[in-house]
Chains A and B, each alone.
Chain A
C-alpha cells in the first residue's frame, strides 16, 4: 500500500501512522452533550465503500493527513493535509 503525501509524494505505508476516522477533526464544544461526544469518540460507520481516515506521515514530514479511500477496492481517491481540511471547516 502506498499513500501520496501532499508534501513528500508517493510513500510506502510503513512511514504512516493510522489514527482512525477523520471525524476526530470535528471536536465538539465541552457542552455539546453526551450524544454528540459519543458520536465524536465512539460511534463509527463501517462503510463498504468510501471512508475518510486520519493518518500521520510520522516517518516522513510529520504532517497529519486526511486520506479518502475505498474499503472495498482499497483505492485512495484523495489525500489532503489535515490542517487544510480543518481550516476549511472553520
Chain B
C-alpha cells in the first residue's frame, strides 16, 4: 500500500514486472520487495528446510527470506535478494524452493515433520545403511531443502574484473561515510566511496529526520552531488565491499547492469573490483536483530527499522494494522512515524518496565512481550503476554526490534575478533583489527545521526593525518542526537518453535539441543545446527543465537564468543570473480608465425604450454592421423621435412661470466665449447633430478644462445635469473629471453642441405658447416642464424630469422620441400622421429628422472661443480635398482603399446608391488614397422633382450614386450653427420 507524498520513488515513471508470471506495477526507484509490498504481495518465499511461507524481513542485503530468481533461461540468476534487486521494465521474478507454487507448496509437509528435523537430524537419521548416503539420502535432502536452482545452461552474460586505487576507501555512504568522504575529499585526498545501495545516504534515506534544517534525504543528496563534482573522489554506488585482505586490498562487487533491461555490447552484468587503499574507513552501519518468539517467522513480521525504510524510502506501508514490539527506543520511532504517516498502529509493545510515551495515539504496553503469532500465509494476530496474562491483538504486520548489531564483519576478515560492548549489548570492532582501517559510526556502536557525523569526521581526520594531509575545517550539520537505550531481550520464553536463523530454519530449541548434546563451543553449535551457514551468513541471527547458547550453557556472551566472519560479506557470483576467464579468455594463446599457414593446411592444432602447434598436416585421401604422421616421418627420413620449432625457449646469454653461468647450470662443460659450435646440455635441479635439456650455441666469446624445451622455458629462465641474482650477483652476465624475436624452423632430412643451398645467399657444405656447427647466414639479405642440430637423427638444420619474416620463410621452406618430395611435418611425426632416436622429452624427464636414469651419467663433469651435482650423488639417486631408460618393442600377439602402462615380469601378478617399470612414450614407427616405446625398467640397461609384460590397467591393454636399446634408427648416428 502506497502512502502519498513519501518516498524517493519517481511516481511519474511506472515500471511493470512479473512475479511468478503475474504482472505487477511499481515505480522507478523501487526494489522487488518494495514494489511487491506496495501491491500487497506479502508472501515472497518458502523457508529452506520446513518450507514455511515467508515474507520480507528486512530492507537490505541481509535479507534471509525474500530470495528470488530473476531472468529466464541462461540469464536466470537464483538467490537474488528481493530487497536489493531494483525493478526494471520487463523484469521477470520467480519464487524459489516451492512446488508446485509459492502459494501451495507440497514440501510444506516438512513443517509437520519438524519434530524429526531438528538440529543434527541428518547426522542421526541418515546414517545407515552406508550405501544410501550418496544414492538416496543426499538427492532426497537436496531436493527437499534448497535455494534457487541454476539454469544448467552456459552463462551468456558478460562480467568484468577491474582494479582501483585510492588513498582512502570509505565503505558505506550513510551519515558517517558521507561525512568522512566529504572531509577527505575537501582535503584533496584521493577517495573512493563505495555503497551497496543504488542511492547513497544510508539511514538518512530511511528515516524522516531533519539535518541542517532540511530533510536528511535532501542533505545526503546535496553531499553526494558535491562529492560527485570532485575530481579526487570516485563514487561507487551499487558496490558492496565484500572482503578485506592483506596489505590494504579489498574485494568489491559492483552490480553494474543488474538494474537494467537493455545492456550494450559487452556490457558487464557485474564487476568484481580489487581496490588497493592506503587507508580505509568502515562505515558499514548496523543491522537490526529480531527477537525470537513462537512463530516469529510469519509473513508480515518485519524489522522495525525496515518498516521505516519502506515507509520513508519507498512510501510503502507494510500493513494496515501494524503492531510494534521492541526492547529499545528505536521501536518507538517506528510506531511514531507510522502513526504520523496515517498508518494504524495496533499497539506498541515494549518489554521494558515503566516506559511511557507522551501523547501516543496508540496503546503502549510496557513490560509486555509478544509470545506468539498466528496466520499461516499472512500475519493475522499476535499474542501478547503481560503480568496479567496473555491476550491476542489483531495485526497484519509486526515491526520488531531487538536492538542493533554493528556490521563488524570486515574488521574480522584478517582474523580479528570483535569486542563485546555491554552498553549496547552487541559486538563492536576491535581497533587495529585491519591495518589502516578505522571503524566509525553505527558499525562502531554509535547510533545517533549526530554521533555518526562526529565519528565520520574524526575518522577522516585521523586517516588524513596518516596520509600526511592536512584536514580542512568543516561546518558541522545539526542532527538528532538521541541516546540509544535498550534492555537485552533475545528470546521470549514459551512453547513452539522460535526462529533465530530464518534462512536455514534454525530455532531456539535447536541451539538448546546442541548445548544439551554438548556442542557447547560456538563453532560446534554453528556446524551442528547450521546456524549462520546460509547465504546470508546469519547477519541478523548470529548474535541472538550465541546469546541463546550463552544462556543455555550458563556463560556470558563475551565468554561464549563469536564465530568467524569470513569474506565475502554478501555472496559474490563465481562468474564475477572469474570474469574474462571463460573460453579463450582462460589463458593467453601464443601463436607462431606459421600459425595461419598451418591452419590453411588444415592442421589440427595442439596446445604445448600456451603455444599452439600443428599436430599433423592431412592430405587428400588420408582418413586417419596415423597415415599423415607416417607420411611426414617419411619426408624426414627420405627427403626433407619442415617443422616450426619457434616455441622452444631461446635465451640469450652475454657477458664476461657467461661461460661460468653455463658451467654451473649444465652438468657438462660449456666454457670449452668453441665459438660457432653447438652442444647438447642437461640441466639438473638442485635436488639432483633433471630439470630440462636442450642445446646451447656459442655465438661469440662472451655470447651464448641457450634453447630450452617449450614447456620448461619459463622455469629455466627463472632458474637462470635465480642463479645470477641470488647465488652470483657478482658475475657480469646478462640473460634475456629472445623466444619471440626469432622464428625458427627445422629443416630435416637427407635433402636438407640441398634445400637450404637453394635459399641461402652463400651456400654451405659439410666442411664449412659440419654437424653441431652454428653461424650467421643470409637469406635474401635477411640476417639469419643457422644451427646444424638434429632432433630427428637425420642430416638436419634449424634456421632462425627475425619473426617478421617467419611466415614468409615457412611458406618458402614448405614449397621447396614439397618440390623435393617432402613437406611440413607436425608434432606427431616429430614425436615418432625422436622416439626412433631415443631423444628425450618431458615424458621422460618428468621430474623424477636423474641423469643416470636417462643414461647420461657420464655427461656429468667431474672437473667442476654444477647445480644438482652434490645431491645427485645421494645413494638413493645412484641406486642400480632405479628405473633406467630403455627401448621397448612388442613381441607378442598384441602389437599396440601405450604410454603410462606398467611393466611386469611375465609370471608376476600385475599389481603395483610387482611393477618393474613403466612406459613413458610410445609411437608407431614406419621404419621399424611396429609400435616402439621408451620406458624405465629397473636395472634396464643390463636387461636388453629380456621380455616383460606391459599392462595398461586403464585402457585394459596387455602386450608382451622386449627390452632393447633406446635407439631404433641409425644407432651409430652417421646420418646426422653426413
Contacts and interface: CB of A to CB of B under 8 A. Distances in A.
- A and B in contact, CB less than 8 Å: yes
Contact of A30 (B249, B276, B728, B869): B869
B567 interface: no
Interface string B566-588: 00000000000000000000000
Contact of A75 (B163, B249, B435, B718): B435
B730 A90 contact: yes
B247 A1 contact: yes
A5 interface: no
B276 A10 contact: yes
Contacts of B727: 25, 27, 86
Contacts of A64: 721-722, 725-726
Given A10-B276, A30-B870, A56-B721, A76 B726 contact: no
A83 B725 contact: yes
Interface in B405-431: 414
Interface in B827-850: none
A87 B247 contact: no
A2 B721 contact: no
Interface string B139-172: 0000000000000000000000001000000000
Contacts of B274: 12
Interface residues of A, number: 34
A18 B718 CA distance: 11
B687 interface: yes
Interface in B691-730: 718, 721-722, 725-730
Interface in B244-259: 245-249
Interface string B847-883: 0000000000000000001000111001000000000
A77 interface: no
Nearest to B163: A12
A75 B249 CA distance: 13
Interface string A40-71: 01000000000000101010001110000000
A55 to B, nearest CB: 11
Interface string A7-18: 000101100010
B686 A58 contact: no
Interface in A1-40: 1-3, 10, 12-13, 17, 19, 24-25, 27-28, 30, 32, 34, 37
Contacts of A37: 870-871
Contacts of B718: 17, 56, 58
Given A12-B276, A87-B730, A76 B247 contact: yes
Interface in B229-271: 245-249
Contacts of A28: 870
A32 B722 CA distance: 21
Given A10-B276, A41-B871, A87-B730, A2 B725 contact: no
Nearest to A17: B718
Nearest to A19: B722
Nearest to A33: B870
A27 B722 CA distance: 12
Contacts of A1: 245-247, 249
Contacts of A24: 722, 726
Given A25-B727, A83-B729, A2 B246 contact: yes
A84 B727 CA distance: 11
A17 to B, nearest CB: 7
A72 to B, nearest CB: 9
Given A1-B245, A2-B246, A86-B727, A74 B722 contact: no
Nearest to B664: A27
Contacts of A34: 874
A84 B730 CA distance: 10
Given A10-B276, A37-B871, A54-B726, A30 B865 contact: yes
A73 to B, nearest CB: 8
Contacts of B687: 41
Contact of A74 (B246, B686, B729, B865): B246
A27 B435 CA distance: 37
Interface string B768-792: 0000000000000000000000000
A3 to B, nearest CB: 8
A48 B726 CA distance: 26
A21 to B, nearest CB: 12
A39 B219 CA distance: 66
Contacts of B246: 1-2, 74
A83 B871 contact: no
Contact of B276 (A2, A58, A62): A2
Nearest to A42: B687
Contacts of A87: 729-730
Interface string B92-130: 000000000000000000000000000000000000000
B729 A86 contact: yes
B276 A82 contact: no
A2 B435 CA distance: 13
Contacts of B245: 1
Select the residue from B728, B870, B871 with max chain A CB neighbours within 10 A.
B870
A37 B868 CA distance: 11
A13 B246 CA distance: 10
Contacts of A58: 718
A86 B249 contact: no
A73 B414 CA distance: 8
Nearest to A11: B276
Nearest to A36: B870
Nearest to B865: A30
Contacts of B248: 2
Nearest to A74: B246
Contacts of B722: 19, 24, 56, 64
A90 to B, nearest CB: 7
Contacts of A30: 865, 869-870
A49 B276 CA distance: 25
A37 B201 CA distance: 63
Contacts of B728: 86
Nearest to A29: B865
A27 B274 CA distance: 39
Given A25-B727, A30-B870, A62 B721 contact: yes
B868 to A, nearest CB: 10
Given A1-B246, A2-B247, A82 B726 contact: yes
Contact of B725 (A13, A74, A82): A82
A30 B722 CA distance: 18
A54 B727 CA distance: 12
Nearest to B729: A83
A67 to B, nearest CB: 12
A24 B727 CA distance: 8
Select the residue from B163, B276, B726, B727 with max chain A CB neighbours within 10 A.
B726
Nearest to B722: A64
A3 B722 CA distance: 19
Contacts of B276: 2, 10, 12
B839 to A, nearest CB: 30
A53 B274 CA distance: 25
Contacts of A3: 247
A26 B566 CA distance: 39
Contacts of B726: 24-25, 54, 64, 82-83, 86
Contacts of A12: 163, 249, 274, 276
B31 to A, nearest CB: 35
Nearest to B726: A82
A18 B248 CA distance: 20
The 7 A-B residue pairs with the shortest CB-CB distance in the complex, in nearest-first order: A2-B247, A83-B729, A1-B246, A64-B725, A74-B246, A82-B726, A83-B725
Given A10-B247, A32-B870, A41-B871, 13 more contacts: A1-B247, A1-B249, A13-B247, A24-B722, A24-B726, A27-B727, A28-B870, A41-B686, A56-B722, A63-B725, A64-B726, A82-B726, A86-B726
23 contacts: A1-B245, A2-B249, A2-B276, A3-B247, A10-B247, A12-B274, A25-B727, A27-B686, A30-B869, A34-B874, A56-B718, A56-B722, A63-B725, A64-B722, A64-B725, A74-B246, A74-B414, A76-B247, A81-B725, A83-B729, A84-B729, A86-B726, A90-B730
